[in-house]
Each structure stands twice: as C-alpha cells, then as structure tokens.
C-alpha cells in the first residue's frame, strides 16, 4: 500500500469541522425535542383517543417506519414547495427528522404506557385524581422511566441519522466533510476524522443521558 496519509490539510479546516459538529448537535436537539412531542402526543392518542384518531396515528406510524428516511427527506424538501410550503434546507431537515423520530417514539412510549398496571390507574381514580393528573403523574412519568433506555437509544440513532440531510445541502458535519473532500482531495482522511468526531459525539451524548437518568430517576432505588 503506497498511500500516504496527510491529515494536515484536514486539520487546517478544524474550525469548519467544529462548526459542522455544532450544527449536527443543533439539528439533533431540535428534531429530537419535536419528535418526542410528536411521539408523546401520538402515544397518548393511540392509548386513550377515539377510534378514528387511533387509526390516523397508526397509519402515520406504519408509513414512516416502513419507508426510508431519505425518501421522507426528499418528499418534505421537494414536494412541500409544490403545495405552497417553502422550507429552507435546515427547516426541511428538522421537519423530516422530527416526523421520522416521532413515529418510532410513538411506539416506544405506547409500550411504556401499556406497561402501567390497570390497578394503578384505578387506584388513582379512587383517590379522586383528575384525568390530566392521572395521565401526567400515574402514566406518563412511570412510562417515561420504563422506556428511557430505548428512547435515548433512538435519540442516538437520530444523531447519526442527521448525516443523511447532507443530501439536501443542509449544513451539518457530513455536509462539511463532503465540501472539504472536494477542496482537499483527501477523502480517506476526512472521513476518518468525521467518523472519530461522530464517535465522540455519541459517547458524550450517552454519558449525558446516563447523568440525566441518575438525576431524574435517582429516587427509584
């Protein structure tokens, strides 16, 4: 193998790589927050809503979970403008990622809700708690604790999934890497570097989620 590694040209663009990493985290945070809200609303709708609403949510979940994220991204970015909804690359990326995560979050949170014993809900009713109080304190909080590991794993996958939005020129780490690859012609080196950056971001998020679980659920023991 005669290939000579040269990381110097890559490191000279470290500020752009840092910018890409920050943009990746921003996209992840925004789409994860919106996706969680969609997932929670959908899970509550499938668990307690009327039949017609349950069916609508079920169709949404099945469509999103059985089609590629890239197709969903292209649909949002290219099809919505035909309907009069104009979005920037970043806005389309956040919307597509949020919708995608929301479908998976619906099923994760619904599984948590279904894990709550019926007797626990009946006991809350006998104590005179309102429907809102029961959903919030008796169902949502224990359900969130039960599915927290699965939910955070989905958030990690969301972070890695942001790399696909470079297909619509949204600014994030992979898009920055593609631009640098064309400027420096050091493709091998640049993708080694961003692989390491992604690894660091994932490990940092995993540690953060672990610390959050200790703070939120420390009383469990």
Would you state the pLDDT for residue 186?
Answer: 84
Grade residue 221 by pLDDT with cuts at 50, 70 and 90.
very low
List all residues 6 or more positions away from 129 whose beta carbon is below 8 Å from its beta carbon: 137, 138
Lowest mean pLDDT, pick from 44-48, 138-142, 145-149, 152-156: 138-142
* Non-local CB neighbours of 57 within 8 Å, separated by 6+ positions: 42, 45, 46, 49, 106
DSSP letters, 185-209, are --HHHHHHHHHHHHHHHHHHHHHHH
Is the model's pLDDT at 219 over the cut of 70?
no
Reply yes or no on whether the pLDDT at 220 is more than 60: no
What CA dihedral angle connects 203, 205, 209 and 211, to 10 degrees? 70
**What's the rounded mean pLDDT across residues 4-19?**
88
Query: Would you tell me which CATH number, out of the four given (3.30.70.1140, 3.30.70.20, 1.20.1250.20, 1.10.3720.10), belongs to the domain 8-220?
Result: 1.10.3720.10
On the question of pLDDT at 200 being above 70, the answer is yes
Would you list the domain boundaries of the chain? 8-220
- Encoded tokens for 8: 């110097």
Tens of pLDDT, residue by residue over 20-54, are 999 999 999 999 999 999 999 999 899 888 999 99
> What CA dihedral angle connects 14, 87, 27 and 8, to 10 degrees?
-10
pLDDT of 1 reads 61
Average pLDDT over residues 191-216: 92
More confident: 169 or 30: 30
Q: Cα–Cα distance between 48 and 38 in angstroms, integer?
A: 15
Q: Locate tokens 């692989």: which residue?
A: 195
Q: Residue 80 and residue 72: Cα distance in Å, rounded? A: 11
* Mean pLDDT over each residue of the chain, to the nearest integer: 88
What's the confidence (pLDDT) of residue 45?
A: 92
- Give the integer Cα–Cα distance in Å for 142 and 145: 5
User: How far is Cα 207 from Cα 188, in angstroms, rounded to an integer?
Assistant: 29
How confident is the model over 87-141, as pLDDT tens digits? 899 999 999 999 999 999 999 998 888 877 777 777 777 777 777 777 777 777 7
Residues 14-24: what's their mean pLDDT? 93
pLDDT reported for residue 218:
67
């Amino acid at each position: 193998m005669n290939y000579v590694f040269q990381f110097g040209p890559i490191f000279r663009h470290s500020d752009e790589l840092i910018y890409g990493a920050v943009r990746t985290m921003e996209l992840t945070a925004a789409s994860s927050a919106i996706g969680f809200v969609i997932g929670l609303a959908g899970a509550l709708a499938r668990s307690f809503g009327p039949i017609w609403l349950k069916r609508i949510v079920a169709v949404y979940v099945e469509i999103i979970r059985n089609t590629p994220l890239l197709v969903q991204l292209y649909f949002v970015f290219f099809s919505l403008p035909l309907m009069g909804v104009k979005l920037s690359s970043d806005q389309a990326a956040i919307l597509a990622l949020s919708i995608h995560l929301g479908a998976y979050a619906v099923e994760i949170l619904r599984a948590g809700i279904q894990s709550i014993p019926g007797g626990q809900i009946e006991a809350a009713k006998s104590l005179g708690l309102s429907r809102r109080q029961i959903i919030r304190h008796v169902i949502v909080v224990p359900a969130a604790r039960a599915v927290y590991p699965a939910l955070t794993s989905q958030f990690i996958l969301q972070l890695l999934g942001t790399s696909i939005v470079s297909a619509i020129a949204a600014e994030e780490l992979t898009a920055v890497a593609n631009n640098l690859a064309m400027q420096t012609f050091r493709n091998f080196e640049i993708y080694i570097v961003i692989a390491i950056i992604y690894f660091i971001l994932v490990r940092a998020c995993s540690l953060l989620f672990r610390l959050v679980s200790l703070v939120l659920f420390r009383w469990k023991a």
